[in-house]
Amino acid sequence: MQAVRTIFLFFGAVFALLLIAIGIVGYLVTGPAAREVGANAIPITEEAVQSLDDKIDVLEQEVDAAIARGEHRLHLLIITEEEATSKIQALSDEGETGVDIDHIQIRFIDGRVHAFAKIDVVISLQVSLQAEIEVNDGEVEIKVVRFNVGRVSIPSTLIDQVMRAVMGRVHERLEADIDIELEQITVENGQMIVAGITK
């Protein structure tokens, strides 16, 4: 009888420890993610989405015209925080992002892109990200400086592995979609400026 009681006590203790561990992980993952303190919310508007779409259309027309004339000239695309935030929310609403994103906020501060969002994957999570974007030899390189899920900071080794896979897909899309050689991406004062020369 003592053996049966010991077995039940053992399984009870293991079950209690498991519940405590699940509670701690739940607390850490579902808590608030780090974000820019004191920043006002960036409005999400249809006008901002349309503005970015119009800028991209104009850029494509300018690039096509330059190619037709055989010109190798500089082209700029200036993206505001409101346009980036609104466009990502619109893509999520259309099911293009793969996850349901709410309360997205994109900020361009001192050479870094700061992103914050609530995503729904089985449970609702708050995520935040800081990244630096550079262009080397015509290819976009995104270096994630910090990535948090709730209160948990994701280790850089895991981030690097994920970013290698993501960047492979980004390079494929850019090569298929753009007829310009990227020269520089500047992030400052609430804007991201993408500069490229016609191929």
Among 10-14, 31-35, 147-151, the range of highest mean pLDDT: 147-151
Mean pLDDT of 5-14: 58
- pLDDT over 60 at 126, yes or no: yes
Residue-level pLDDT at 135: 87
Mean pLDDT for the stretch of residues 159-173: 59
Q: What is the pLDDT of residue 99?
A: 73
Domain borders along the chain are 31-198
Predicted structure pTM score: 0.75
pLDDT for 37: 47
Rounded to 10 deg, the angle between the 81-93 and 46-69 helix axes is: 100
